[in-house]
Amino acid sequence: MNARITIVDLLNAKQQRRPIVAVSCYDYTTARLVAQAQADMILVGDSAAQLVLGHDCTLPVSLDFMVTITAAVRRAAPDLFLVADMPFLSYQTSAADAIRNAGRFLTEAGVQMVKFEVTNAYLDTIRAVSNAGIPVMAHIGILPQWITTMGRFRAEGTTAEAAMELVRTAEQMVRAGAAAFLIEGTAAEVAQVITERSPVPVISCGSGPGCDGQILVAPDILGLATEQSPRFAKAFGDLGIRSIEAFRAYGEAVRTRHFPDSDHSYHMKAGQLQKLEEMLRENR
C-alpha cells in the first residue's frame, strides 16, 4: 500500500529542492489518471466554475458543489496530497464561516489543506482557520475571485514597490499560520524571492520556475482547454483534437450501423431466442 503524501513530504521536497508537481482537476476519472501519473498534489480548483460549468469567471460555484467534486477526487486519488479551493463567499463573511466551511472539506472530502484567495485584509481569517487545525494555502498574486473589483487581470509584482508589498504580505501570512502558498500570475523574479524567504512550500501558477512546485489545470495540460486558457498555460497533449476525432468516429459508426456490433451487445442465453419466437407466434 502506498503511503499518502503529507505536508511533511512537501516540506521535505522544498528543503531538498525536488519540484512539487500539482494539477488542478475536478472529477474522479481525471483524478485517477493524475494519480497514475504520480503527481504529488491535486487541487480541486474553483476554476471548475469555468471549465466544468461554463461560467466566464470563478464566482458562481457553490460550496456544496465543490465539496461533492472534491470528495470524488479523493476517492480517485487516495494517496495524493489533496487541496480544496474555498469558493467565493465561503470565507469572506466571517472567520467563523471560514472555519465551518473549510472544515467541511476535511470531514466530507478528506482534504489535507484548504486554499483561500487572500490579501493582507485576511490575516485574521488565516489565523483563525489555522488555529482550528485546518492547514491553509494562501493564494496570492492574481486573485481570480477579485475580478469584479479588478476589472481585468495583469501580471502582479512587476514593479519594485508592488513586489515589496507582496513579499511583506507573504511574510505576514506565514506569521498568521499559512502552511503553503499558491502564487498566481506574478513576475517570476518576485515569486522566486518569496519562495526563497518562505519556510512553507510555494506553488507557482504562471509565476515562473523559481518556486517549490508548479500547478496547471488539467484541461490545459491535456490540450482540452477552451478560449479561457491563460497565457502562461501550456498544453502537454492534444486531447482536444483527439477527442473530437473520437466523437466523430463514434458518430460515423452509429450512422453507418457499424456500432454497436455483436461484441458490444448482450445476448440471450442459448435456445432462448427460438423459444421467444414460438411464444410470440402462439400469442398472435
Binding residue (CB under 6 A) for ligand KIV from 67, 71, 77, 85: 85
CB 167 within 8 A of CB 193: yes
CB 41 within 8 A of CB 86: no
Shortest Å distance, C-beta 253 to ligand KIV? 35
Q: What are the residues facing 114 on neighbouring strands?
A: 84, 136
Our finding on whether 140 is near ligand KIV (CB under 6 A) is no
Shortest Å distance, C-beta 141 to ligand KIV? 10
Q: Could you say which DSSP state residue 186 is in?
A: B
Which residues 30-69 are close enough to bind ligand KIV by CB under 6 A?
43, 45-47
Our finding on whether 185 is near ligand KIV (CB under 6 A) is no
Among residues 169, 179, 208, the alpha carbon closest in space to that of 191 is found at 208
Comparing CB distances to ligand KIV, the nearer of 182 and 211 is 182
Shortest Å distance, C-beta 181 to ligand KIV? 11
Comparing CB distances to ligand KIV, the nearer of 227 and 282 is 227
Q: Give the C-alpha separation, 161 to 157, whole Å.
A: 8
Our finding on whether 207 is near ligand KIV (CB under 6 A) is no
In 3-76 the beta strands, taken as DSSP E runs, fall at 20-24, 41-44
Our finding on whether 215 is near ligand KIV (CB under 6 A) is yes
Query: What is the sign, positive or negative, of the torsion defined by CA atoms of 210, 211, 212, 213?
Result: negative
Q: Which single residue is written with the C-alpha cell 482540452?
A: 224
CA distances from 190 to 110, 152, 163 (A): 33, 21, 6
* Those residues with Cβ within 8 angstroms of residue 42's Cβ, 6 or more apart along the chain or in another chain: 22, 23, 24, 25, 31, 34, 35, 73, 77, 80, 81, 82, 83
Shortest Å distance, C-beta 28 to ligand KIV? 17
Our finding on whether 220 is near ligand KIV (CB under 6 A) is no
Among residues 228, 229, 192, the alpha carbon closest in space to that of 207 is found at 192
Answer yes or no: 196 catalytic: no
Comparing CB distances to ligand KIV, the nearer of 182 and 187 is 182
Shortest Å distance, C-beta 247 to ligand KIV? 25
Report which residue's Cβ sits closest to ligand KIV.
Answer: 45
Question: Which among 184, 189, 227, 245 is annotated as catalytic?
Answer: 184
Our finding on whether 156 is near ligand KIV (CB under 6 A) is no
Comparing CB distances to ligand KIV, the nearer of 129 and 225 is 225
Binding residues for ligand KIV (CB under 6 A) = 24, 43, 45-47, 85, 182, 205, 215, 217
